[in-house]
A and B are shown apart, each in its own frame.
Chain A
Amino acid sequence: MLTAIEKKAIDHEIELVPYRKASVIEALKIVQQHRGWISDESVEEIAAYLEISPAEVDSVATFYNLIFRKPVGRHIILLCDSISCYVMGYRLLHKALEEKLHIRMGQTTDDNRFTLLPNVCLGCCDHAPALMIDKDLYRDIEPALLDDILKKYA
């Protein structure tokens, strides 16, 4: 069941568009914000609320890179793997992160603390390489700086 808070936020989005289902991306964002990811149950609940089929919700949910259809850790590390960061050495960061966290790209640590994901250009290519943890952007990063950065996230 969608919670009252989730419904209220979705209702607000519905008011801004000509028909209910046009708010499906907003609904997915809202539910993910509260639950961390979008489970099959969440897909069904959103579908019922917007009066469309679960398949239609899922076709949208699976299209976008930052709607998570699998559980994720408490913190999400997005490592830019686009061209300026490639030139400036993101591959060293990639290797260092995998070694420090004992996971591969796309995986979550056993203690559920971090999920490590590749991400397209973060729009700060003049300060490459870059990465983002949750909403925090880190620029001009070298492997030696990683420990201090990771420490901030419990």
Chain B
Amino acid sequence: MERPLTSNIYPDRPPLNLKEYEKAGGYIALRKACSGMSPAALQKLVQDSNLKGRGGAGFNTGIKWSLVPMGDEAPHPKYLIANADEMEPGTFKDRVLLEGNPHQLIEGMILAAYAIQADIAYVFLRWAYHEAAALLRKSIQEAYDAGYLGKDILGSGFHLDMHLHTGVGRYMCGEETALLNALEGKRATPRAKPPFPQVSGLFGKPTIVNNVETLCCIPHIVNNGADWFKGLSYSEDGGTKLYGVSGKVKKPGAWELPMGITMRELIEEHAGGMKSGFQLKGVLPGGASTDFLTVQHLDIKLDYKSVAAAGSRLGTGTMIVMDDGTCPVGFVHNLQHFFAQESCGWCTPCREGLPWVEKILLAMEKGEGRKEDLELLQMHTQLLGPGNTFCALAPGAMEPLQSALKYFRDDFEKHIDHKKCPYD
């Protein structure tokens, strides 16, 4: 089984430096692109590979790039940004790539920048990843020294500067338009679309924001071709995927596996199954803002379409397992506390609604819930749902709530009927 993204990552060794990365085949893809591949051909190649964005929304990366204005008339500077904010609770996959092989990301970024003819690239890194920050600083400098960054890269006439920006902690910085505001030194509130960032992004210039894992796939697609990439997958979405599992399983962790393996294989084989004494009760398949799946869904394929057909989202592909000893009301309360705290306050349904939801759930946990609260919660899942808020934070927050009300309704009812948490 091929594992292109992680085959050069060894858990107990520092990541490859420039020389070692080159020896392992690094920067060959960049040489290939710089010796005669047109930006349009690179965009087409990535589009054909059916690489879908790994940041959560799952949009075809090549098509996203194709919306950037090209040619002599295009506004400059254009920007390419790696979204390394990774603050979705339960998500730890980009960290593996950032700490494990920083040059792979840098090469992917240079290639993406070449495809859209960007002038400046940023890594937007969350503050907590101190080790990744140090590694990236060193690796970016190595890439400059080797002529992979800066002026006239490998004699192609293409110029690119790359900077590292570390955030100061706010989940909203991961939302791509809020990220642009943060980079401009503003509060991380989202922007109205259209105009899309591809046309008017950072400082009003054409900009592409891609997830770290998305960008790390690019060198491998250039080296091996679109068909090879598609062939890595068990489903129609191309490539491998970094899946993760946390919670009370025997071996929590992250693994690069073919896109479309089943949830059962992931949880029972790779994560070793549940710890003894615990049963699986629910799973958030792709981070905190995805709908619960349950035991009945264990055999679904973990690709974008199949998880959507089961009523959830693949999201970041890092699952959070809820066991039968954990109270679903407490679990969802913890999630809503996070979302209420991280709401940027820009639009009313989210700013006012999430704290209300949080308070109702807290009251239930304390045994102070009322029958009508279930309807109130249900009502919020609609009021804060898609189309009613300015960005996807609030609808994302409602996903685990609405599915918990569906699958674990009796747990909510018990809290109300017995006036206490049955798990205490």
What residues of chain A have their CB less than 8 Å away from a CB belonging to chain B? 16-18, 21-26, 28-29, 59-60, 63-67, 78, 81-84, 86-88, 119-128, 132, 135, 137
Contacts and interface: CB of A to CB of B under 8 A. Distances in A.
B252 A126 contact: yes
20 contacts: A18-B203, A22-B203, A28-B168, A29-B166, A60-B187, A63-B187, A82-B89, A82-B90, A83-B334, A84-B90, A86-B331, A87-B247, A87-B321, A87-B322, A119-B169, A120-B342, A123-B94, A125-B89, A125-B91, A137-B130
A88 B163 CA distance: 37
Given A64-B169, A126-B253, 19 more contacts: A17-B185, A22-B203, A24-B185, A26-B185, A63-B187, A63-B344, A83-B338, A84-B320, A87-B247, A88-B246, A88-B248, A120-B341, A120-B342, A121-B88, A123-B126, A123-B128, A125-B90, A125-B91, A125-B252
Interface string B328-350: 00110011011001101000000
Interface string B368-388: 000000000000000000000
A64 B90 contact: no
A84 B330 CA distance: 12
A29 B344 CA distance: 20
A24 to B, nearest CB: 4
Given A84-B89, A132-B128, A127 B185 contact: no
A82 B126 CA distance: 16
A23 B182 CA distance: 10
Interface residues of B, number: 53
Given A63-B188, A86-B334, A125 B318 contact: yes
Nearest to B342: A120
Interface of B: 86-92, 94-95, 126-130, 163, 166-171, 182, 184-188, 203, 244-248, 252-254, 284, 288, 318, 320-323, 326, 330-331, 334-335, 337-338, 341-342, 344
A59 B187 contact: yes
Given A22-B184, A65-B170, A125-B91, A83 B128 contact: no
A29 B168 CA distance: 8
Given A65-B168, A125-B318, A84 B338 contact: no
Contacts of A28: 168
Contacts of A88: 246-248
Contact of B129 (A29, A84, A123, A128): A123
